[in-house]
Every structure is written in structure tokens, then in C-alpha cells.
A and B are shown apart, each in its own frame.
Chain A
């Protein structure tokens, strides 16, 4: 059994190797102590990136624990790949695998949704009425895309009449490319949106914008397109220095931005989108629109009283400490991944950093010791700006840039090496994370 440890010289040591386009690295591993014997009953809600990676780590870390995962999804989605599918760079099955293939022996998968959580009685009820008692609970069910919040829009529309919605899954990402590719050939107004709520990888809407713009221009149709980006926020990205860089890139590419524009609905027949703005309702024409709906915690989380009462009240993210991810009122509960109520962290890169923290906290709780690891809000966004180039943007809770390869890979520079990482290296790293080995 091995246990990953932090290595402060990692960046310097491994930067050059990684810049060879393969995220090369040597081990930052040390032998850990023998597995902790325990009879603890651990329930993990969700077998996505967070739940699966954690389960793999816990089975090596604990001996005798009863680990149960709840997730009805047969297929596992490599969500960072959806952007590539929606740009025609990868097929839909690029992001698909079987949930069961990633799970270790020694855990029990119940293929059902959690229907209710009773944090007082420490039980989880499944949809079929089964009740699972737990000593420790990890809430990692992901989030819900609230497509119904966009008036006039339904997922059936994706792929036709210039409508795309890549977040909805691989099939929809592929259908998004059908609509987007038509736009890159025929031209017109391309309208790219994002929601007001917290969301998975906030860089993804920008990547889609950049890629579709690039593909149209490569096809010689740059003169026929008018690319516009509309967002409810006041800036193009949550990290000010990155927002400024994106603003400059938009300027260079001739992409217009409409800030403080929140998508309310679409009229698919007239190809018009309605936005709310501080000055009232505004309508914009489009020939291609990319819809990203509001994103919220699953209803079971809110119904169970685990959400913040005074923050994100319309979204319901789990109330937890931003450093330990431990629930603030129920110390035997942790939040992991998209559902965690922390300021940043709805990416696979965040999950990669969160999982060891939850693992550490959980094992410390079992052994009655103090946890040693904390999450600093790290997240990573390989911001593709064109086919063949990207910016490897990494930052933390404080909006500080925290490059993995300082002095080698400039985070705000459009580089081929960053493209290589996104296109070929990240999925392998993600897979290693799922197996609890990265």
C-alpha cells in the first residue's frame, strides 16, 4: 500500500518532464503505514470522479471497513472530454467507460440513487426503500443541470436549429458539434452563454467559444461569423488576471462580449434568445447558441438539511469547511466534488486535490487523530484557445495563480504544450486518479 504525500519540490523536479507533452513525472510516493483496522461503516453517495477515487484509496488505507457506494449510473463520464467531443475532435465514446470497471474489490456498489439522508439518525435511504446506516458519510453525487430553467429550451432540441448544450452528456456534446459545425460552415451569429450559478469548469464555455471560432476561421469562414459571448457575471472569468487575458484574446479574435446578461429563454423558431440584464430584458438573435443551464445540488441534499442556509440558497451546495471539506454541523459527513459548498472546485482537477483531503480527514476521524491535509481551492483549467494551443490556468481560493510548472509553462501564454496536456495527457491522469493512484 502506498500513500501519496505532498512534495514541495515537485514543480521544479518534474516541470521539464511534463513539458515533454506527457505530464511526465517521477514518484512522489512514500511507503505508508499498514492499513488501519476498523469496522467503520462508510457510505459514499456517488461513484463519479470523487466517489470512485476515494473508494479506491480507502480500500487500501483501511482494513475491515464496510464501504458502500450508491450510484445508479452504469456509465462513467470523463467530463473534461466533453469540450473536445463538442468541437468534433473526439467521438462521443471518448468520454464513456463503465462505472464498475473503476471500482475496487472490497466495496459494495448499490446501483440506486440516495433518496434521503438522515444526518441525525446517520442513515441513508435508497430509492427502493433500503436503509443504510453509516458511521461516516461522503456526499459526492455531483450536481444537477437545471435545463427547465431555460424557458423554451429542452434537451430534445440539441443538435438542431443551431442549438448546442455540451454539458448534458456525450450524446448531447456530439449533437452540439452537429449544430456548431453547421455554424462554422454557414456562418451567422454564434451566441455562447453561461449561467449565473456556480458551474462545472467555468472555463468550458470559453473553450467552446474559442474552438468554434477557430474552426470556422480555419475553414476560411471567418468573415461569415459573428461570435458573441453572453454571461451574467461582470467579468469573463472568476480570476481577475485570467479575465483580463481572456478579454484581450476576445479583442484579438473579434469576439463580442455581453456582460451581466443572464439567459432566460430561447425562441427556437425565431432564433432569438432572451436575457435579463440590469437594464431589463434584452433579446439577441443567433444562428448558433450554446446553452449552459443553471446548476444545482441534487434535491436529496437540500431535503436532508445538509445545504448552506445562508449561501447559495438557490443552489443548495453542502455546507462544509472550505479547507477540510467536513460538514460544519455533522462532523461524520464530508462533501466531495461538485456538490461541495466551497468557492471553487467543480473540476476534475479539484477533485484530484480534494480526495486525499477527505481520505485523510476520514481516516483521522477513525483513528481519533488530527487530520493533516487541507484543500486550498486548487483548480485547473486547460483553457483551449484554438486547436493546438491552450493556456494551463491553475488557481486557488484566493485567485492566486499556482502554476505546476513555474518558469516553464507560463499560465497566461497560449502554448502547444498546454494543448498536449489537455488533449492527450489529462485523461490518463484522470484515469490514474480514479484508480486512486494520482
Chain B
């Protein structure tokens, strides 16, 4: 690598996932993040009941994220060859877990706001 730029980074992601899928994922992530921020501001507190369900979704998110990356890169778990590979894989899993938790928490909060939860 010589000069590594944001433009290169975006081009790389587009190449990996395809332009449409990549930007759709970016849009989805942005929407979920905005939704999460919205419900936090709206509710002004964390619902630990919803948080529990969100936590339960984390392993599912982790597995799905790893599966997705392996499929998109034509590789398999047996290809993990060194510490950096494991770190990358765990990073992918962690990203999937956190993403799933945020998604599930946000969806619950949007569908069942605190008032509905109390009733």
C-alpha cells in the first residue's frame, strides 16, 4: 500500500459488497443509529427490560456477521491462520453483536414506548 485514502476505503467496500448493497447497509446503519439516539433522547432513560432482550440478540448478531463476511469473501473458519485473523474475526463478531443489540433495543423502543410498556 502507498497512499491510503477515504476514497480508497469507500471504493474497497463498494467492491467487496457491490455498490448497491454497500450503500444500502450504510443507510440502514445510519437509520438504526439515528433511531437509537432518538429513543434515548425521547425516553431519557435506559429500559433494562428492553436491554435484556437486546443482549440476548447479541450472539445471534455475532454469528450472522461472521457468516456474512465468510460468504462474501469465499472463505471459511478453517482459513484463520494467525492472531491477526482471529482479532479480525472477533472484531466482526463484536460489530455484529453490538449492531444487533442496538437494532433490537431501538425496535423495541419504537414499537413499545415507555408508556406502552407501563400499560
Contact = CB atoms under 8 A, between A and B. Distances in A.
Given A26-B9, A425-B15, 7 more contacts: A10-B4, A14-B1, A22-B9, A27-B5, A420-B73, A425-B12, A438-B2
A438 B84 contact: no
Interface residues of A, number: 49
A240 interface: no
Contacts, number: 136
Interface in B63-83: 69, 72-76, 78-82
A20 B92 CA distance: 8
Interface string B1-30: 111111111011111100000000000000
Given A413-B82, A417-B84, A428-B15, A29 B9 contact: no
B82 A429 contact: no
A437 interface: yes
A415 B82 contact: yes
Interface residues of B, number: 33
Given A22-B16, A417-B88, A429 B74 contact: no
A243 interface: no
Nearest to B80: A416
Contact of B12 (A5, A10, A22): A22
A428 B7 contact: no
Interface of A: 4-5, 7, 10, 14, 17-29, 89, 352-353, 356, 378, 380, 386-389, 404, 408-410, 413-417, 419-420, 423-425, 427-429, 431-432, 437-438
B91 interface: yes
A287 to B, nearest CB: 27
A414 to B, nearest CB: 5
Contacts of A21: 16, 69, 73, 88
B88 A388 contact: no
A56 to B, nearest CB: 12
A143 to B, nearest CB: 22
> What 9 pairs across the A-B complex have the smallest Cβ distances?
A25-B4, A388-B79, A428-B15, A428-B12, A4-B3, A388-B75, A416-B85, A428-B11, A416-B79
B2 A389 contact: no
B82 A410 contact: yes
A415 B81 CA distance: 5
A423 B73 CA distance: 7
A129 to B, nearest CB: 40
A25 B75 contact: no
A356 B15 CA distance: 24
A14 B9 CA distance: 11
B16 A352 contact: no
A10 B91 CA distance: 21
A78 to B, nearest CB: 11
A355 to B, nearest CB: 9
Contacts of B3: 4-5, 7, 28-29, 356, 438
Contact of B81 (A23, A416, A425): A416
Which of A24, A27, A388, A416 gathers most chain B CB within 10 Å? A416
Which of B11, B12, B87 gathers most chain A CB within 10 Å? B12
B104 to A, nearest CB: 24
Interface string B79-103: 1111011011101100000000000
Contact of A429 (B8, B73, B80, B88): B8
7 contacts: A22-B9, A24-B4, A413-B82, A414-B81, A428-B14, A429-B11, A432-B7
Contacts of A408: 84
